[in-house]
Structure 1
Amino acid sequence: MKTDEMKLPSYFATFAFRFLCFLSVNVADLDSDKQALLRFSARVPHGRKLNWSSATPVCTSWVGINCTKDQSRVMALHLPGVGLHGPIPANTLGKLDALMILSLRLNSLSGNLPTDLLSLPSLRYVYLQHNNFSGHIPPSLPPRLNFLDLSFNSLTGTIPATVQNLTNLTGLELQNNSLTGQIPNFNLPRLKLLNLSYNNLNGSIPSSLHNFPASSFVGNHICGPPLNQCLTINPSSPSPSPTHLPPSAKPGNSHRKLSTGAIIAISVGGSALVLFLFLFLVLRCLTRKNFQGSFTSKANGGRTEKPKEDFGSGVQEAEKNKLVFFEGCSYNFDLEDLLRASAEVLGKGSYGTTYKAILEEGTTMVVKRLKEVVAVKREFELQMENVGRLGHHPNLVPLRAYYYSKDEKLLVYDYIPAGSFSSLLHGKVVVPYQTGIQG
């Protein structure tokens, strides 16, 4: 009996020791993330001041940072268009070994792609487009990568064959670089978006990629479906001699004038072709005004698919691709993140449609798409500032951000999962006793 009683304190001591070790590991991990981010901020110049400080908590107050649910690690870094300059130093962002989402696009980052960062096993989404990166694409890419966008940089070398190992990859955008060599024959079952256009690639397009549109490959020295067929030349067959040409193809007959009927036919055909091209361009311009199809509801339940044509394209100018956040807002997503989000229609009103948007990292927002609102930019901004001031009222859902362009105007709010005032009035909701009228 005494032996059992003596064992209890030892068991308790062991449990307490392991629990303290667990807590210290979590604190140390978050502290190491914090130190890595502070080193990055100190060594990389940035045009817009970051509110990162050793005296403030990382997960709740730092701009561009999202942590895990238990607030133990940094899982997402969003710093698009903040004026970052120069290379990414080693032993900074590469130390964030729980990082899943990296978005540093629309900056002026340069130098080689950081191998320690792009080899983090935890990475799922990488958005580094519209920078000045150079050098080769590192072959040691994260095995569970879902989306990789390195477009609009100055990358050289070949596309690494190790891309074949990225079986979870759904999007690969490498357009507008200086990549050379042939396209690897990678067969990725989940790949939905591929863009290799405007590089210096050569050879033929692998058969596993024939289902992608021609726009994925234009601007290279490549052939094969969906582009023109590759020419096959048999070196053993001699080219025909001019003495063996048929009479109609001899040089002496090449100066014969076209008949009047042939000239009329060519003119009519050319006019029809010009008219067809004009109509095609008009229809193309009208089609592109549909907000990239991101918030167009489907008939089955009002949900939308992620846009395929402009999925993460990032081709827009920085100013046109910018959400304006209100002071005190800790969110740091942008318009492209909203376009990539899954959307569900919450309601339609006289001023537009309201959507529930779930971002890739799990954040849920409400997006109000205004329609038939005619206002110049400065007038719209003043109105938004007035609405933003009302956000401090405890009984109002605060406006977090807005977007203005000539064709689109969006309002972004917090998502309140408890329901709406309309459902409380008209829905089949059991109202607690204390919310009713008391005598």
Structure 2
Amino acid sequence: MGTAKLYVLFLYSLLLFSAVTAAELCNPDDKNVLLQIKQAFNNPYLLASWKSDTDCCTDWYQVECDSTTNRIISLTIFDGELSGQIPDVVGNLPYLQTLEFRHLSDVRGSIPTTVSQLSNLKLLRLSYLNLTGSIPPSLGNLTGLTFLELSSNDLTGAIPSTLSSLENLDAIHLDGNQLTGRIPDSFGFFNGKVPDLYLSGNSLTGPVPTTLGKLNFTTIDLSRNLLTGDASFLFGKNKALQQIDLSRNLFEFDFSKLDFPAGLTNLDVNHNKIYGSLPQDLTELNLQLLNVSYNNLCGMIPQGGKLQSFDQTSYFNNRCLCGSPLQACSK
């Protein structure tokens, strides 16, 4: 083949390559939705890379496209200045698997109910924002969710019982809001995985549903609420429980009758009305955290295991608890 023909072939290949690379990968419907989201937030600097004349799959930050379909599968906006409400149009990204708005300066308003249309969603994180209103019960339709975090907002109202329909959840974070009412009975009937449960820092009232005692939770955090009554059924010798925080509530039960799971590492029940004594079984646990202060406990702190590795703040302000690291018991 002559030099001239080789040169022509090279030019043709170069032009063909340029044409292919110039072709936009981003789905036009997805791109239009993202531009509407940008406009709803008044075209912030945080979304400066979202330009109508560039490819959202290759040139835009905070988004990710599927390598096969080129549809938007991830929208993650976090750690920056963003002001406004999450627009309803966010529900028009049908292939979305991850949706995150977190640690943003002034994202307010309610959770759009259109989020419930995102049937492929696996991770939903709307946290450290200024969201108000109630949790949409329709979020229970997102049965593919493996992670739900709505923590550190100003959400109000009751916890929707429909969230127990989320059978694939690894964790549910509703902590740090202003939620009221009772923990739903349905939370004792998760249809599938038993998620780590974080409900701390709300204004939940009433007793913990006994149905929760039938499930094998790994982590439960019910701290800093107004919960009452008996929570001893959350414990059990054969349970998988590793971390439990019941602190700063109004729980009242006999601590001496508890059976502790062998894998329990974090136990915090401070600031309640718990009575009885500390069981000898506590010395058999590999505890990393222990706090039983500000209760009505009595008797001698068992000697051995990890119990003396904690200082007196883990034990003080009980009715008549004594022994190391507190003062010696009177004879």
1:145 aligns to 2:150 (yes or no):
no
Larger CA Rg, structure 1 vs 2: 1
Q: For structure 1, list consecutive stretches of 5 or more residues without a partner in the other structure.
A: 1-26, 232-268, 282-439
* Alpha carbons of structure 1 residues 48 and 158: separation in structure 2 relative to 1, 3 Å: same
1:68 aligns to 2:71 (yes or no):
no
Which whole-Å CA distance do the structure 2 matches of 1:154 and 1:59 have between them? 34
- Quote the offset at 1:208 in angstroms: 3.8
1:196 is matched with which residue? Answer: 199
- Quote the offset at 1:81 in angstroms: 1.0
Contact persistence 2:120–2:144 (CA under 8 A): yes
Which whole-Å CA distance do the structure 2 matches of 1:214 and 1:205 have between them? 15
Which whole-Å CA distance do the structure 2 matches of 1:146 and 1:111 have between them? 25
Q: 1:60 is paired with a residue of what secondary structure?
A: coil
- Quote the offset at 1:42 in angstroms: 1.6
1:161 is matched with which residue? Answer: 161
Contact persistence 1:33–1:74 (CA under 8 A): yes
Q: How does 1:71-220 map to 2 (within 5 A)?
A: 71-91=69-89, 93-107=90-104, 108-141=106-139, 142-185=142-185, 186=187, 187-188=189-190, 189-210=192-213, 212=217, 216-220=221-225
Which whole-Å CA distance do the structure 2 matches of 1:171 and 1:101 have between them? 15
Which whole-Å CA distance do the structure 2 matches of 1:77 and 1:135 have between them? 23
1:35 is matched with which residue? Answer: 32
Which whole-Å CA distance do the structure 1 matches of 2:252 and 2:169 have between them? 28
Q: How does 1:230-249 map to 2 (within 5 A)?
A: none
2:242 is matched with which residue? Answer: none
Contact persistence 2:155–2:177 (CA under 8 A): yes
Q: 1:99 is paired with a residue of what secondary structure?
A: coil
* Alpha carbons of structure 1 residues 195 and 50: separation in structure 2 relative to 1, 3 Å: same
Q: How does 1:379-418 map to 2 (within 5 A)?
A: none
Which whole-Å CA distance do the structure 2 matches of 1:276 and 1:203 have between them? 35
Contact persistence 1:59–1:71 (CA under 8 A): no
More displaced, 97-106 or 187-196? Answer: 187-196
* Alpha carbons of structure 1 residues 215 and 146: separation in structure 2 relative to 1, 3 Å: closer
* Letter of the structure 2 residue corresponding to residue 82 of structure 1: G
Which whole-Å CA distance do the structure 1 matches of 2:167 and 2:27 have between them? 30
Q: What is the percentage of aligned positions where both structures have the same residue?
A: 33
* Alpha carbons of structure 1 residues 77 and 49: separation in structure 2 relative to 1, 3 Å: closer
CA distances 1:336-366 after superposition (whole Å, capped 9, x unpaired): xxxxxxxxxxxxxxxxxxxxxxxxxxxxxxx
Contact persistence 1:204–1:230 (CA under 8 A): no
Q: 1:152 is paired with a residue of what secondary structure?
A: coil
Which whole-Å CA distance do the structure 1 matches of 2:313 and 2:91 have between them? 48
1:347 is matched with which residue? Answer: none
Which whole-Å CA distance do the structure 2 matches of 1:64 and 1:205 have between them? 40
Q: 2:33 is paired with a residue of what secondary structure?
A: helix
Q: For structure 2, list consecutive stretches of 5 or more residues without a partner in the other structure.
A: 1-23, 235-245, 255-299, 315-331
Which whole-Å CA distance do the structure 2 matches of 1:50 and 1:122 have between them? 27
More displaced, 46-55 or 122-131? Answer: 46-55
Q: Which has the higher helix share?
A: 1
- Quote the offset at 1:276 in angstroms: 6.8
Q: Which has the higher strand share?
A: 2
* Letter of the structure 1 residue corresponding to residue 209 of structure 2: P
Q: How does 1:351-430 map to 2 (within 5 A)?
A: none
More displaced, 144-153 or 217-226? Answer: 217-226
Which whole-Å CA distance do the structure 2 matches of 1:144 and 1:104 have between them? 19
Contact persistence 1:112–1:134 (CA under 8 A): yes
* Equivalent residues, number: 216
1:44 aligns to 2:41 (yes or no):
yes
Q: Give the 4+ runs in structure 1 shifted more than 6 A.
A: none
* Letter of the structure 1 residue corresponding to residue 134 of structure 2: H
2:295 is matched with which residue? Answer: none
Contact persistence 1:159–1:184 (CA under 8 A): yes
- Quote the offset at 1:212 in angstroms: 4.6
Which whole-Å CA distance do the structure 1 matches of 2:29 and 2:93 have between them? 8
Which whole-Å CA distance do the structure 2 matches of 1:178 and 1:32 have between them? 37
* Alpha carbons of structure 1 residues 215 and 143: separation in structure 2 relative to 1, 3 Å: closer
- Quote the offset at 1:229 in angstroms: 4.0
Contact persistence 2:196–2:218 (CA under 8 A): no
* Letter of the structure 2 residue corresponding to residue 123 of structure 1: L
- Quote the offset at 1:117 in angstroms: 2.0
Contact persistence 1:47–1:82 (CA under 8 A): no
TM-score normalized by the length of structure 2: 0.59
- Quote the offset at 1:79 in angstroms: 1.2
Q: 2:58 is paired with a residue of what secondary structure?
A: helix
Q: 1:203 is paired with a residue of what secondary structure?
A: strand
Please tell me the root mean square deviation across aligned C-alpha atoms, in Å: 3.0
CA distances 1:344-394 after superposition (whole Å, capped 9, x unpaired): xxxxxxxxxxxxxxxxxxxxxxxxxxxxxxxxxxxxxxxxxxxxxxxxxxx
Q: 2:132 is paired with a residue of what secondary structure?
A: strand
- Quote the offset at 1:50 in angstroms: 2.5
- Quote the offset at 1:280 in angstroms: 7.3
* Alpha carbons of structure 1 residues 134 and 140: separation in structure 2 relative to 1, 3 Å: same
TM-score normalized by the length of structure 1: 0.45
